[in-house]
Structure 1
Amino acid sequence: MSSPILVTGAAGFIGYHVSERLLGLGHQVVGVDSFTPYYDIALKEARFGRLTSRNGFVAERIDLSDPEVTRDLFGRHRFERVIHLAAQPGVRFVDPQPYASSNLMGFMNMLEACRHAEIQHLVYASSSSVYGANRKLPFSEHDVTEHPISLYAATKKANEMMAHSYASLFGLPCTGLRFFTVYGPWGRPDMAVYKFTHAIAQGREIEVANAGKVWRDFTYVDDIVEGIVRLVEKAPAGDPDWNAEHPDPATSAAPHRVYNIGNDSPEEVNHLISLIENALGKQATRADVPLPPGDVLETRADVTDLRRDVGFAPSTSLEDGVKHFVDWYKDYHAC
């Protein structure tokens, strides 16, 4: 039997879907989650419950910010591939401590455990937020990303640099994935698609930043999962043509790569709201608010490298994705 694949953040939105997909492909999966209360724990428990009922899934309720616990996890399981999705999410600044604990200490513990276990490939979640104040569109992995405008983005940029250092020092193959505004069934309640849908369904007012004149590269979760599953089988090698005097941020002499996973088709938030209204058969009550600190007006992913290296790029339309999400929402909330 092949070694199990470790998926961290398995009770989270993307981690749940990745675990489901790997199980469906016949893999053994060890799913880890610490069930932090960033949003409704009941939703995390519902996702995790669906996974624990599946053959081939081993559940681990542990906190990866504890180095001893993380070492013990790797001692009890013989992993060859790791998909690290556990993190404190959210670009809006509230409390810095969970970001430091989960995104920095937790990631360091993961790198150390992978190094000592001689993992064949570590795939980890980064974020489109690392592009920060960049004005060039679409966002490319070959762009410099030195101006994050949220603490979350800063921790994700730090993760990329930490992974690169471990790839350089120890030859640990690492791939970072910059996700662009992921949505879909079993999504996070704090994200726009879920938040707007829930408020409109309940007849509550929605807050719309910049009068809805905000563009996001909304990416359906199944497309994200497809990219992850393809990339986990493709451990990077160092680039022999890498030039230290004129370095390309997307390449390295070390076995470390970074990819965008986005739809490459930004949609205005006003259009998103209209699609949700149509799917629910209800009109939104809106309140216009300023663009919050840490947010940007537009995101768009350049997925040239992803398409070239794994023969895939996200393509699910917002119309189809919103319909799938609202259908799930109605079923989950029995409305």
Structure 2
Amino acid sequence: MQFLIKILNYTIHWVRTCGFIIHNQTEKVSRKAGLTQDITTQKQQATEIIQLHETLEARVQERTIKLEEVNRQLEAFTYSTSHDLQEPLQIIEGFTLAIIEDYGNQIPDKALDYLQRILANSHRLQSLIENLLNYTQMINQEIPSKAVNLALVINESLIQLNTKIQERQAQIIIEEPLPLVIANHLILLQVIINLLANAIKFVVPNQSPQIRVYATQQEEYIRLWVEDNGIGIPSEYKEQIFEVFKRLHGNDSYPGNGIGLAIVSKAVERMNGKCGVESQVNTGSRFWIELPLFREIQ
């Protein structure tokens, strides 16, 4: 039993008491005894721990609220800035293209080359802005998931990449079966487009991309593989390539903005999955994404 007492100097103390009975040799009660222990220090320590815990919880909650607000402001700033950048960029592209189309025959070759460079870099900046928007939305927006047909999503990605496939004369083999997974259809489509686009792009010049897409089951997960015959990735960069703006090659060799694989990584993470790569330099790479297997309830 625990209770408070006031002693002679009028200070309050917490005490714990317990009592017990002492029997004699004939098992009769011979006397009763008790023990009283001052537990004021333990009580004070327990109270301090509770107060510290409550203080820490309040601080965590306060900082969480501040962080959420900062994220909202950052998302709004990124969205606003990106849109503000897009309008003048579209004007630059439009007027540059108009000059080339209307006055191309009158422009010196060197000046025409400059205009072509302006147009090409405008397209590159436009792509960068769009990818930044996609990445920001990937981080902050809710991503609802449901059963998704892998075969259907892969087929849609091939349709969207048809021009690049034809230009590079890429050969893509899709192997069955491709089970249902739990994912977001549109987000997964973007992921597969990014992986296939990289497989088409990162090959030795004048070599036709050879790509194989197939799935394996890892317990309750489906691992989708995108295998290529590309230039490969040094082992020390296999994790870094999934970071934002991480590029291993100059833009002249392989154009891009270094966000595609970051989008893949963040998107798969938001769909409760994982991603990775197996690769050897000058041999090719096998990128994979792992998503929960969809099972119908019997």
Q: TM-score, normalised by structure 2?
A: 0.24
Higher helix share: 2
Highest RCO, 1 vs 2 (Cα 8 Å, sep ≥ 6):
1
Q: TM-score, normalised by structure 1?
A: 0.22
Q: Who wins on radius of gyration, i.e. which is larger?
A: 2
